[in-house]
Amino acid sequence: MSITVVGSVAYDSIETPAGRRDRCLGGAATYFSLAASFFTDVRVIAVVGEDFGPEQEAVFAARNIDTRGIERAAGKSFFWEGSYLDNLNEAKTHNTELNVFAAFEPKIPAAYRDSQFLFLANIDPVLQRRVRETMPDVKLVAGDTMNYWIKDHRPALLEVLKGLDVLLINDTEARMLAGDNNLVRAARAVMAMGPRALIVKHGEYGATLFHGAGPKGGSAERTFRAPAMPLDEVVDPTGAGDSFAGGFFGYLASQPQLTPGVFRRAMFYGSVMGSFAVERFGTERLQQLSRQEIDGRFNLFRELTHLD
């Protein structure tokens, strides 16, 4: 079944210990779409500027991603500049230019309305909510957010959380949102805000799925942990979390039934897509990827934690 995703399509200038790239195609919706496109049909809602040309369009077209919901506006596309020189786990932002994104009013093409899966990538929660409300009948809604919205736009974010089935955030965001440093208690508090399931991403240590509060002192019954593969070279961490989300949600949308086993495999596919994304700059690796490579790595991940 198809996924509709709303989020940023942008240009990124990135510096890492492996080198530098200027104005490469980026944005949460871009990484998400590319990752999810290996599993199911994807439709994007975003806004870009006049600097978004045939070359960028071709990246989406090559993966059969529906871009009819990408609006062209006068001006420049969203631009982000950051580096990971001291710490590959955390970007240092040098510059953010919202540009056409500042006045973004998501418009959902009629052709998108039968999507059964909706992903609200990290954007202003007011916009996330608006999109959510125009697609009330979807089967599953997942979303992402970040420290900025958690700190300074909490009431709007809380409204979004009420309408989510699955929230995907990282450790720091989960602890900040709940106001609790203990991850299990934080997960319980976040789920009480609305989401039926919470995925906490741990960067190079994988990710944990919480679904339902476990009994005190033993949460494993309602918890699943997917590993990340130890990699001997991380070229560029940008988009790892969005690629995780795309692999996770793309796999879910490709399955006839959402059983606990499907959710577990989806966590592994999320980790797999995140691990590919960081191997080269920007979206380079996701553009040069095959389903065969994906399933090969899925089997390596299984082996990585398999007991018998």
Counting contacts by CB under 8 A, is residue 307 touching its own copies? yes
**Which range touches its own copies (CB under 8 A), out of 25-33, 54-62, 92-100, 223-231?**
223-231
CA atoms within 13 A on the CB side of 235: 14
Whether the CB-CB separation of 46 and 61 falls below 8 Å is answered with no
Q: Verify binding: residue 8, its own copies, rule CB under 8 A.
A: no
Distance, CA of 248 to chain centre: 9
Provide the minimum distance between the beta carbon of 219 and its own copies in the complex, in angstroms, as a whole number.
Answer: 5
Smallest distance, its own copies to C-beta of residue 198, A: 11
Taking the complex as a whole, the smallest distance from the CB of residue 59 to its own copies amounts, in Å, to 23
End-to-end CA distance of the chain: 35
Structure tokens at 65: 């991603």
Among 183, 190, 191, 252, binds its own copies (CB under 8 A): 183
Measured from the CB atom, is 23 or 185 closer to its own copies? 185
Structure tokens at 103: 């006045």
Residue 133 lies near its own copies (rule: CB under 8 A): no
Run of H or E including 273: helix 260-277
Q: Residue 48 in contact with residue 9, Cβ under 8 Å? A: yes
Among 58, 61, 62, 231, binds its own copies (CB under 8 A): 231
Nearest Cα to 175, choosing from 185, 166, 165, 167?
A: 185
Going by C-alpha positions, the residue among 62, 59, 63 that lies closest to residue 10 is: 59
29 part of the interface to its own copies, by CB under 8 A: no
Q: Does 16 bind its own copies (CB under 8 A)?
A: no
Contact region for its own copies (CB under 8 A) — 64-72, 114-122, 141-149, 206-214?
Answer: 206-214
Question: Measured between alpha carbons, how far is 3 from 118 in angstroms, rounded to an integer?
Answer: 6
279 binds its own copies per the rule CB under 8 A: yes
179 binds its own copies (CB under 8 A): no
Pairing relation of β-strands 117-120 and 3-6? Answer: parallel
Q: Is 261 an interacting residue with respect to its own copies (CB under 8 A)? A: yes
Residue 252 three-state SS: helix
Query: What distance in Å separates the CA atoms of residue 73 and residue 71, rounded to the nearest whole number?
Result: 6
Contact between 185 and its own copies by CB under 8 A: the answer reads yes
* 206 lies in the binding site for its own copies (CB under 8 A): yes
Q: Binding of its own copies at residue 188 (CB under 8 A)?
A: yes
- Shortest distance (Å) from residue 304 CB to its own copies: 5
Q: Which is nearer to its own copies, 27 or 203 (CB)?
A: 203
Which amino acid is located at 217 in the chain? Answer: G
Q: For the CA atoms of the chain, what is the radius of gyration?
A: 18
CA neighbor of 226 nearest in space, from 176, 298, 121: 298
Kindly state the smallest distance separating residue 215's Cβ from its own copies, in Å.
9
Q: Which is nearer to its own copies, 98 or 229 (CB)?
A: 229
Tell me which residues touch its own copies (CB under 8 A). 88, 181-185, 187-188, 202, 204-206, 208, 210, 214, 216-221, 223-227, 229-234, 261, 264-265, 268, 279, 297, 300-308
